[in-house]
Each structure stands twice: as structure tokens, then as C-alpha cells.
Structure 1
Amino acid sequence: MSPGNARALRRPQLPRGWRRLSVRLPILLFRAGLGPIFRKRLLLLHHTGRVTGLHRLVVLEVVSYDAVEKSWTVAAGFGTRADWYRNLRAQPKTVIQFGNRHHAVTAHFLDVEEGGELMVCYARQHPRTARRLCAFMGLPTYGSEQAFREAGRAIPFVRLDASTPSRP
């Protein structure tokens, strides 16, 4: 599969009914001040609807976290059609909640090569989760480094960099 057609893979259906409720439950936990229970695996992304202008929330899995640089990388498991992804494309400056702390961030969209390398690193740290993500996306799940690199080229990744306040 070449990087040019990698993003044309089957995209999973968005959850509905009780599954949607179960996916949205972490938002309630973050809002109740229980964000630390997710350790460094999940963050709450605040974003603004590109059409409505309304405030929106989504919980995302952290693929990579750099505590020194204050940056978080997340994957768009539903692809570029996910509302949060499209909203960040329209307005990249936003706020995340990580644990109980809020951070002003700017979204940077990684290219396919960066995504491929990132997925290889993620698969080394979380092999079962990486295989499940690949299966969810309809990608090969045999677990070789090359398979994860191809998967990373097909999955859109976003790096959220914390804004540093300017000094007077």
C-alpha cells in the first residue's frame, strides 16, 4: 500500500445508542474532576464546532506524551471525517484537560511519514492496543514493524503543543 492511497481505507462507523453513551462516559468523569484516573492515557479535548460555533468535548487516547516539551499526540481513529479533527483543522488553537490540569494548545497535523514512525514506537510500547487499533481501522493486524508503519501512514495523527505564555 503506498502512502498516497493509505488514507482511502475503510473507516469505522461512529458508535450509536448505548455504545455512544459508553464512549462519552469519560467526558463525565473528566468534568467531575476524575481525570487523574486515566493516568497519562487519555485527555479531554475542548474544540469549537466549525459550523455551529458551539463548544464541544471529546476524550482521546494519548499516543505519545512529551512532558518536557508539553506536547501530546493523538490519533484520529475515525479518520479525517471525525468532527473534532475537522474542527481543529478550522481552528487549531484550543484547550485540553490532562489529569486535572488545563493547557492551551495548538494543533499540528503530522504527515504520513511521521505518523508511520509514531505508530511503530506506539506498537513497541502497547502491542495489543496497537493491534486492536489496526483491526478497528480495517488494517492488517499481523504485528510486524512494517505493518505498523503502514498503519501509521493511514491513520491521521495530531500533535497538540502547549502554548507558552509570553513574558512582558
Structure 2
Amino acid sequence: MNGQLERFWGRLVGPLGAERSAGVVSAAALGTVLVAVQTKRRNGFLAATTMAPIAFDLIGGVIAFQLTPTRAKYAESPLRERMVFVGAHLQPFAVPVVGDGSWKRAVARYASAVAATATLETVLASDPRRRLVANLVAGALSAADVATDRGPQRWLGPVYLMKVIGGHGGTPRHDTDSGNTDVSLPSELAALALRTRSLARSPITLYRSGFGRLLGSRMMMLEHTGRRSGQQRFVCLEVVERPAPNRLVIVSGFGERSQWFRNLQAHPACFVSTGGRDRVPATARMLSEDESAAALRRYQQAHPRAWKHLRGAIESTVGVPVNQLPMVELRLQE
């Protein structure tokens, strides 16, 4: 029985050895006891037994992912398996179940964690900077979560985000260089983000909180004016090209039916946040078909892997060839 338990533990966290395993278990157990005791006092025994294993898993996971053997073990996992595992992290929903929080916050935590991890898996698959970026994103989201949550289970938000985004999302994949890469899944993830409003809009929170620069200069937030309502609207997009320091080119993934595209046609004046620049005034210009095709060819040459995923995501979502999609040039004011 001990042998089976040891093999299971090894598959879960990697070959930590007895000493480090004992350290992870002891720290997780201590945190679990504190959570269980406090939960039992408020909500009774059943609620405590619900939160105890969740506390053990999350606290132990955060600690284990600081250790090299755990990260090395997880790096060997294929992309599809990793995303299924991340999607199974439903711990935030236990908080409203035991009566200590809202369903709205639970959905926000889950959507943010899955969206951030999917983005890291797609954009920074084997990039050595991935762990740093993941920890910065997780830290920023955790700080925002702590600042707005006054509930008794407020420990769960930052621990959950650090485990899922900083741990799972921050571990580069080794299978990208082995010929084993699942080419279709990143496109499926991107397509899911395009179709799912909560996932597509989740980076807006980072930008509006002042942390948009963590997403780098290839991402941007566009602030545009509703053509009918006159109200400010927000959308996050990838920068396809930078023809000049003060010019950006973006593509409308849903064609001319995209609301932001139609709004820019009616009101070209807008604001752009990207990299270290926040809310820079800009003017939009719709590119001609020839200009769009030329920009797309340059993007394909500069970012071949991203092109493969972008093309698959858009075509599977919209059903229109990418080379037929309209593009917009944004001229930023100096």
C-alpha cells in the first residue's frame, strides 16, 4: 500500500524525495487545519470537511510548484492533458456552496485563471520568460482579489490564482520541441476564448487596473465609442503589425460584423493601451484589401506559429478565410 501511495505521490508532484515531500505535506496540513477550524466555527462540520481538502490541495500545490522536480514533471505533460487538469480546478465554487462568498466572484476567479493559463499556453508555450510573466499576472490578479474580497474565505482567491496561473500556467512545456506538439489544441483554446465572452473580456480587468503592461506589447486594449449609445466600450486585441512607433495594425476576427469595428467606422477617434502606454489617443483608418493582405503576409512571416493558431481559431469560429478579414490601422498621437 505504501508503494502505491508513493507512486501516486510521485506522479502528482514528481520525485521530491522524503524530506521535501514531508515539508510540502506539513505546510499544507497546517494551513488545512487553520481553514477547517475557522470554517467549522462559522458554518459547521460539513462545511469544514468541504473546505479542508481544498485547502490542502491548493496550499500544497503552491508550495510544490516552487520545487524544480514538480515543475519538471509537469513540463512533460501534453497540452491537452494540462488544460483538462486546469479546467478541473473548480475550487472557487466551493466558497458559495458553504455560504462564505458569491457565485459571481467564484465565476470571475475561475474564468480569470483558465483564460490566463490558456493565453500562456498559446502565446508563451516554451518561452523561458513564461514563469516570470505568469507570476506577475497571478500576483496582480491576487492583489486585486484581496483588495475587493472581505469574506471569511478570502485566502482562497490568491492561493488559487497563484497555484493555477503561477504554477500550472507558469511551467513551460517540453513537448513543443519534441515533435509531439498538439497543433490543433491552441487553435481550439483561442477559438473558445473568441466564442466565450467572459474569457475574451478577462484581460480588460488587467488593463483597467493598471496591469495591462504585463501582457506585453503584442496585446492592446482598445477603448472605442458605441455608435448608438455613445458610451465607452472596451476590447482586447492582438497587435498584428507596427509599421511605425506611433502606428498599430489590428484585425477584426469576426469581420465587419464585429461591434468594435463598426463603432470605429462611425467614430474613428479612440484610445489605445499597450505595453507601458495607457489610454493614448488614436485615430482609426480602415485598410484596403491590398493593404490588409500585405500586412497579413508580413505577420505570417514574422510569427509563423502564432499565425497557425490564429488562422485555425478564427476560421473555426467565424467560418471565413483569414485573408478576407478587414484590418484597421490605429495612428497614435505623440
| Aligned match of 1:125 | 302
Q: Which runs of 4+ in 1 moved over 4 A?
A: 12-16
Cα 1:36–1:67 change in 2 (3 A) is: farther
Structure 1, unaligned stretches of length 5 or more?
Answer: 1-11, 140-149
| Aligned match of 1:159 | 329
Cα separation, 2, equivalents of 1:129 and 1:156 = 18
Give the aligned length: 139
| Aligned match of 2:258 | 82
The one of 185, 203, 216 equivalent to 1:26 is 203
Aligned-residue offset at 1:131: 2.0
| Aligned match of 1:98 | 274
Give the 3-state SS of the residue equivalent to 1:138 in structure 2.
Answer: helix
More strand by share: 1
Cα separation, 2, equivalents of 1:133 and 1:35 = 21
Residue 77 of structure 1 contacts residue 133 of structure 1 at CA under 8 Å; is this kept in 2? Answer: no
Cα separation, 1, equivalents of 2:193 and 2:238 = 16
Give the 3-state SS of the residue equivalent to 1:40 in structure 2.
Answer: coil
Cα separation, 2, equivalents of 1:117 and 1:79 = 17
Percent identical = 34
| Aligned match of 1:107 | 284
- Choose between structure 1 and 2 for higher RCO, CA contacts under 8 A separated by at least 6 residues: 1
| Aligned match of 1:56 | 233
1:17-49 Cα offsets, whole Å, 9 max, x none, are xx3211111000111111111111111100111
Aligned-residue offset at 1:99: 2.5
TM-score relative to the length of structure 1: 0.75
Cα 1:14–1:85 change in 2 (3 A) is: farther
Cα separation, 1, equivalents of 2:284 and 2:325 = 16
Cα 1:87–1:13 change in 2 (3 A) is: farther
Question: Aligned AA for 1:134?
Answer: R
Structure 2, unaligned stretches of length 5 or more?
Answer: 1-190
Aligned-residue offset at 1:137: 3.3
Question: Aligned AA for 2:283?
Answer: T
